Structure 1
Amino acid sequence: MPQPHDVPSARDLVTAVREFLENDVLATLEGRTRFHGLVAVNVLGMVERELDLGESQAQAHQSRLSSLGFTNDADLAAAIREGRLDDRYPELKSALLEAVRDKLAVANPAYTA
């Protein structure tokens, strides 16, 4: 199916800006400005990973919710608070660990190693 936007894609643009900051700008910065430059590079990396993984992660998350009998995180959280899933602890723990792994894969993949 053809894309509605021409090249470069949003991912290509984000990658280009991240690489420019990493390769050309950061070396010229010091102190607070360098710190904020590093933060910007990290944020752009997160956006890249979310663009790559987001759709499949969203589907996996919805599947996990459905397998537990919920349609959204708020209802799941309420059920956990109320103790309605206490008898399904292994299943709940597995689903929550997978959700955290997905979040870390976007936020900082090094944490999952």
Structure 2
Amino acid sequence: MQDEPRPDELIKAVADFLRDHIAPQITGHAAFKLRVGINALDLVTRQLTLAGHSDADELARLKELLGADGSLRELNTILSERIASGAMDLSTPGLRDHLWQTTLAKLAVDQPNYASYRRELGQK
């Protein structure tokens, strides 16, 4: 185990510094590029903090849904093949919920400010 600060904390600190102290001083195309870089750092921070838990949840759902064991990549390949072949569809028990939960977990990392995602969280 590494000492503090954790990688996600370091990346967030850099993004916050750039956003709060450097970005206000930059204009034009350089400001746009800086915002893209800050957004990338924010995305990596969310991946580091959220992906482990959401990947574990997704893997558990896949194992139950497919009745199989394997890595997340392997089980997603099996699921994709079964959907493509018609062996599984939205009437398959548990599939709709799995797809929805997986989508929400991905949005939490990729687009946490997406309006429909925020609205869905508010309904829960």
TM-score by shorter chain over 0.5: yes
C-alpha contact 2:58 2:102 (8 A) present in aligned 1: yes
Distance in 1 between the 2:12 and 2:53 partners? 20
Local SS of the residue matching 2:87:
coil
For residue 24 of structure 2, the aligned residue among 24, 27, 30 is: 27
Distance in 2 between the 1:31 and 1:53 partners? 33
Q: Could you tell me the TM-score, scaled by structure 1's length?
A: 0.86
Partner of 1:108: 111
Local SS of the residue matching 1:109:
coil
Q: How many residues align?
A: 110
**CA separation of 1:87 and 1:20: change in aligned 2, threshold 3 A:** closer
Identity of aligned residues (%): 29
Partner amino acid, structure 2, of 1:34: A
Local SS of the residue matching 2:5:
coil
- Unmatched segments (≥5 aa) in structure 1: none
Q: Does 1:9 align with 2:9?
A: no
- List, as ranges, runs of 4+ consecutive aligned residues in structure 1 with deviation greater than 3 Å: 87-90
Local SS of the residue matching 1:86:
coil
State the 1:86 CA deviation: 2.7
Q: Could you tell me the TM-score, scaled by structure 2's length?
A: 0.79
Distance in 1 between the 2:62 and 2:23 partners? 41
Superposition RMSD in Å:
1.7
